[in-house]
Amino acid sequence: MVNLAVPLALTRQSLYYSTILFSTLAILLPLSILSYLYFYSTLIPISVLRVPITFSPKESFHEERRGYANLEPYIKVFEQTPDLMYLLSLNLDIICYSEKNSIRSVIHNVTLGSYSARSTFVLNCEEDYIFHSNNRLIPYKLRHYVSPQLTDIRKIVNVNSQYSLQSGRQISETSSYNARIDVHRNTDVDDNHSFLEFYVQWDGIRYYMVTYYKSSMLVGIIIFWGFSSFVCLLTALVTWTKYNEQNEQDFRRNIKVKKET
C-alpha cells in the first residue's frame, strides 16, 4: 500500500504558503496603498488652491497684460482656516512664439486688496530649454527621431514666482475678492494654464508629507503593509500550529485505537 501522507502534507503546506503569499501581495498591498491615500486625504484635505486667471485681450503685443483672479468661490476655505498660512504664488504659461533663443527678465505685479507686490522672473525662450522643460524623458538631440505624437512641441515655458505669506484670515478679510495681475509688456500669456496659487504652509508631520510626497508615500505604504502583513503572518502561524497539534492528537488517538483492537 502506498503511503500518501508525506505528499499530501507537502501539497497542503505549499498551498498554505501560496495562500499567505497571495494574501500579502495581492490583497494587503493594494489595501495598504488605499489606506495611506485615505490617511493622507484625511490629514491633509488641501495642499494648494489654484485660482484661474483671466487676462483681458490686448490690441498690441507691446501692451501690458492685465488679468484678474476671482477668489470669491474660495473665500469659505480661507474663512474656515483663519490661522493657516498660505504662500502666494503666481504660475504662468508664457508663449515664446514671437521670440526665439532669448533670455530676459519679466516684471509682474500682484495686487490683492491692500497687499501689492512686484517681482520678476527669468523667461528663457531658448529652443533646447523649452523642449527639455516640456519633454523631460526625450533628449533634445534625439527630437527628430521621436514621433511628434509623443512629444510636446509647443513653445511654452512655465514660470512660477512666489510672494509673501498670508493667513487665511487676512485673505478672507481683504477689501476685494478680485486679485489683479499685471504682466510686463512684450509677453504672451496662455490664459488657459495660468493660476494664482495659495500653498498651505503645513507644519509638523504634514509638512514632510506634502514636501516629500513620494518619499512619505513609500514610507507610509511600507508601514501599513508591514503591520498588516505581520498580523496576517502571526494569525497564519497560530492557525497552522493549532492545526498541526490537532492532527497530531488525532494521529495518536488512531494509533491507540488500533492497538486496543
Which residue among 201, 226, 249 closes a domain?
A: 201
* 247 and 175 housed in the same domain: no
What is the model's pTM?
0.77
* 162 and 66 housed in the same domain: yes
d(CA 145, CA 207): 42
* 246 and 184 housed in the same domain: no
pLDDT at position 2 is: 46
d(CA 52, CA 73): 11
User: DSSP E strands: which ranges in 31-172?
Assistant: 48-55, 65-70, 85-95, 103-112, 115-124, 156-167
* Single-letter amino acid code for the residue at 156: I
* 228 and 195 housed in the same domain: no
Could you tell me if residue 100 is inside a domain?
yes
Cβ–Cβ under 8 Å, residues 51 and 71: yes
Cβ–Cβ under 8 Å, residues 162 and 108: no
Tens-level pLDDT at each residue, the chain (261 residues): 445 454 555 577 788 788 888 989 999 999 999 999 999 999 999 899 999 999 887 666 667 888 999 999 999 999 999 999 999 999 999 888 666 678 888 888 899 888 888 888 888 888 889 999 899 888 988 888 888 888 888 888 898 888 888 999 999 998 788 999 998 877 888 888 899 999 999 999 999 999 999 999 999 999 999 999 999 999 888 888 887 777 666 666 666 666 666
Phi, psi of 137 (to 5 degrees): -95, -5
pLDDT at position 189 is: 87
Which residue among 179, 201, 223 closes a domain?
A: 201
Please count the structural domains in the chain. Answer: 2
* 37 and 51 housed in the same domain: no
Could you tell me if residue 138 is inside a domain?
yes
Number of residues that this document lists for the chain: 261
End-to-end CA distance of the chain: 21
Residues of the domain holding 20: 5-42+215-260
Could you tell me if residue 206 is inside a domain?
no
Could you tell me if residue 94 is inside a domain?
yes
* 37 and 56 housed in the same domain: no
Q: Which three cell numbers, joined as nine digits, stand for 96?
A: 515664446
Could you tell me if residue 209 is inside a domain?
no
Could you tell me if residue 153 is inside a domain?
yes
* 36 and 56 housed in the same domain: no
pLDDT at position 150 is: 87
* 194 and 84 housed in the same domain: yes
Could you tell me if residue 208 is inside a domain?
no
* 197 and 245 housed in the same domain: no
